[in-house]
Amino acid sequence: MTPLALPFLLGVLAWTFRPSLVATSPKMMAIPEELQEAVGRVIINTTTCSVTCGLGYKEETVCEVGPDGVRRKCKTQRLQCLTSWICGMLHFTLLTGRRFQLSCVSAADILEDGQEVYRFTWRLARGIISTEDEVFRPLRVSSYSVRFYSLREYDSGTYRCDVQLLRNLKLVKRLYFGLRVLPRHLVDLNFHRSLTENQKLIDEGLEVNLDNFSRPSRPPWKRKVAVAVGLGVPIGVAVGVLLILTLCRWLRSSEDLGSGQPGT
């Protein structure tokens, strides 16, 4: 086939099928009267999900819209939503002997929906922090929380909670808890005690230049207090000295008068 033959054949085919294309054009189609008067329900507005992971709620506004475009019978309803069921890991470092609790869902959700709506499955990877499925073992807890009345080092590990809907066993949330339990006699978690002098001053709200280790600049009200105290100390000392000297002179004059009375 010559190079000029292909465009010629395409032109012939286009001209041949042109009447059929015109016949099926939307402009030529007649819309039934029933469809012209139909009313549909349209979502007018919707909010974002209340949570970024797990089962949350959103609000949708639905209205009836007719051929005239007017919104009628609008209704706002609250619906469940699920953006992602993987919620990551929360880390905790605690000392032995403390009371503690791990919760899959908030108490507000339990009060609103009821615990019977969900199914909770706990698994534990004891002694390690991991998200690998192979290292987890079943934990005999069927509640939405795991409670520790007195933490032990043995309780350290990764706790995984899966939340499912009982009506269809759909997985709606998976949350990991990395728990480290340290002995009290080997570690001190007093944060303020471990700070340096400059860090303590910063923690108290003072401005400290850590680059050249200059003296901390105090706020204006603290400067005024320091000046007042600085002036008050020498003034108080001076007043005290004057009072002592005056008292000594008074005592001396009293003695002189007492000793001079017999000789008169």
**Predicted pLDDT at 51:** 87
User: What is the average pLDDT value for the chain, to the nearest integer?
Assistant: 75
Characterize the bridge pairing of strands 86-95 and 171-182.
Answer: parallel
Q: Which residues contact 262 (CB under 8 A, 6 or more apart)?
A: none
Ordered strands of the 71-82 beta sheet: 40-46, 55-65, 71-82
Residue type, 254: S
pLDDT the model gives residue 233: 58
In the predicted structure, residue 204 carries a pLDDT above the cut 80: no
Which of residues 233 and 262 earns the better pLDDT score?
Answer: 233
Q: Provide the pLDDT for residue 164.
A: 93
Over range 64-74, report the average pLDDT: 80
Contact 25/50 with Cβ under 8 angstroms? no
Q: Model pTM greater than 0.75?
A: no
Model confidence over 171-202: pLDDT tens digits? 999 999 999 999 987 766 566 666 677 666 66
Q: Bigger pLDDT: 230 or 113?
A: 113
Least confident stretch, 71-85, 97-111, 162-176, 197-211: 197-211
Q: Higher model confidence: residue 247 or residue 18?
A: 247
Closest CA to 39 of 15, 69, 9: 69
Q: What is the band of 4 on the pLDDT scale with cuts at 50, 70, 90?
A: very low
Give yes or no for residue 208 having a pLDDT over 80: no
Range 33-48 average pLDDT: 76
Which pLDDT belongs to residue 57? 87
What is 86-182's CATH topology? Immunoglobulin-like (2.60.40)
Give the containing element (helix H, strand E) for 51: none
User: Per-residue pLDDT averaged across 69-90, rounded?
Assistant: 88
- Give the start-to-end residue ranges of the domains of the chain: 38-84, 86-182, 194-226
Higher pLDDT, 183 or 244: 183
Instruction: Give yes or no for a contact between 145 and 56, defined as CB atoms under 8 angstroms apart.
Output: no
Of 102 and 112, the one with more pLDDT: 102
CA-to-CA distance for 175 and 123, rounded, in angstroms?
Answer: 11
Let me know: does 192 contact 158? Beta carbons within 8 Å: no
Check residues 68 and 183 and name the one with the higher pLDDT: 183
CB 42 within 8 A of CB 61: no
